[in-house]
Amino acid sequence: MTLRNLISIIILVLILVQLSALEKAPDFKLENMKGKQVKLSDFLEKGPVILDFWATWCEPCKKELPALSKIQDKYQEHITVITISCDKPRNKDKAKAYIKSKKFNVVNLFDPKKNVQKLFNITNIPRTIIIAPDSTILYDHTGYQRGHEEEIEAEIIKWIDSIEPKTEEIDEEYIQNPENDS
């Protein structure tokens, strides 16, 4: 084995280790609309979390929020939609007013110091991340176009299908003639 091949293998291993580490979402704590500090892990106990990073100045973000609220309503037994305001601290009241005025059924958190944005390497918004209860990142998408919500919903359905028990097909002949079971 040449030195060049050995270096290539080492680099490949380091990349794979780094990629596997990125598949898990880090836990964090942020302030909610009532001023209370809440943790991501508290919501993951219920089921998957859809994180959405947004701001009041971002038009695509504002177009996505109603769709996310509808998803929350439809799958509320299984998921929690958490929107994270990327607005500057001076615009916190504006973000609160916007969420309240639209009556979105989501958990809204504030990241004024951009700590969580840094954790998730958020450089553009809207950014939507679906996180499984074990913190595995199931879906990660930047931007919004009409129809994007269908991708999100498909991921949720896939997760729900993976945890619900599968019903076995019933043998119709056995039901009609159970004594023929030999």
Q: Where do the H-state alpha helices sit in 23-163?
A: 40-44, 59-74, 92-102, 115-119, 148-163
Task: Locate the domains of the chain by residue range.
Answer: 34-162
Cβ distance 107 to 81 under 8 Å? yes
CATH 3.40.30.10 corresponds to the domain 34-162? yes
pLDDT tens-digit readout, 22-81: 489 999 999 999 999 999 999 999 999 999 999 999 999 999 999 999 999 999 999 999
pLDDT tens-digit readout, 85-125: 999 999 999 999 999 999 999 999 999 999 999 999 999 99
Cβ distance 74 to 111 under 8 Å? no
| pTM, to two decimals | 0.78
Give 3-state DSSP helix, strand, coil % of the chain, rounded to 5: 45, 20, 35
